[in-house]
Amino acid sequence: MSLPQLIVRDVMDHNPVGVPPECPVKEVLAVMNDRRIGSVLIVTPEDRLAGIFTDRDLLKRVGDAAPGWRDAPVSNWMTTRPITIEPQAGWDEAVERMSKYRVRHLPVIENERVIGIISSRLLMSRRAEYLNRRVEERTAELRGLNDQLLSRDAEILQYLRAAGRLQTKVMLPQSPPDWPHLRWAIHYAPLDHLGGDYYDFASPGPEHLGILIADASGHSIPAALVAILARFAFTQAAFKTQHPGDVLSAMNRYLHELIEERFVTAFYGVLDRTSGVFRYATAGHPPPLLFVAKSGAVRTLTASGFLLGIMPDEVYVEREVRLEPGDKMLFYTDGLVEARNEIGELYGNTRLEECLKTHGRATSSELLAQVLAGQREFSGAEPLTDDLTVVVAEVVEG
């Protein structure tokens, strides 16, 4: 026996938060913060929809708001004539409407009155529950519950292993670029079979090489899916320009439309081998370290830029540094510096910088081995809690 098709009434929130149009913005924000919700319906005393106020409405207007905006009525800030849906509409129609109009919340209207609200998060969550019920129903028809659970676990593990191999083979470069000016050493270790870490290279011109390292929030399947989206966005943008800030901006706009409640950190730099200038920008990623061969000093490649997928109009400021033979750049994800020992201490940036100062004149492979050994010695028997990626780029005579 099959389960009936899902309709909006089955998955909507039947008790949406509603406020009158004259309610001050500050009170609405307090309600949203207290309830941990991303939208509030603006309704009349007759339960008719006047508008909707979301976190996006706040972000779009708060930058130019005049003093005292918190006391203004929410009707001044809300989205009027929001996209709505009927309770008898199907699940697929709700998904299509959200995608078409690029909204994350749909008020549910019946007989011109508000009876609920549906969000993209709620929609996907209830859909997942629905699909799980269908899987359990069909499986129970074939074998007993114990056999079903055992076989399902084995199947999922097999798929994860296969997906992990596919991710490594397809998403990540099979080998670093063969550039006479650079020598590489790379370590990639996802926490689970699938990971959210990602590194890549691009050639926006014959004399330029781009280097990206990125980290999707979380780990395992959700992070891996976001990393796939980040890779697609990068490949679409990186070969069109030699400006790292423009590439991160393009990735940010793309991801903002597709991911919710997740984000990506990224660092992207482009090396001009004719001048030795390395121009870079960052999106909230741990700053790479530069070992300067002439002085033995360690520099931090910092720049300003917010996480990808959060603020669609973020500007990523570019900075640059000139590289010389013997210099080494150490790129890494936060799984390295956030590793802990048995008493809960973080490995941290200071230990990493000291390691680079001590072993900076070693080869790229030797330096990578020293970095990993130092982290393992510090952590002891404590396991990692996040994906770990380290890339060492050594500048050599061309």
C-alpha distance from residue 91 to each of 1, 2, 110, 126, 257 (Å):
20, 16, 17, 10, 20
The percentage of the chain sitting over the pLDDT mark of 70, rounded to a whole number, equals: 88
Domain 173-395 has CATH 3.60.40.10: yes
Write the CB contacts of 133 (distance below 8 Å, at least 6 apart in sequence): 3
**pLDDT single digits (tens) 293-348:** 999 999 999 999 999 999 989 999 999 999 999 999 999 999 999 999 999 999 99
CATH number of 8-125: 3.10.580.10
- Beta carbons within 10 angstroms of residue 174's beta carbon: 7
- 148 confidence band (pLDDT: 50, 70, 90): low
**pLDDT single digits (tens) 187-223:** 998 887 677 888 999 999 999 999 999 998 876 677 7
Quick check: 253 pLDDT over 50? yes
Quote the mean pLDDT of the chain: 87
- 1 confidence band (pLDDT: 50, 70, 90): very low
Q: Helices 244-256 and 220-237 sit at what angle, rounded to 10 degrees?
A: 130
Token pair listed for 207: 């004399």
d(CA 337, CA 339): 6
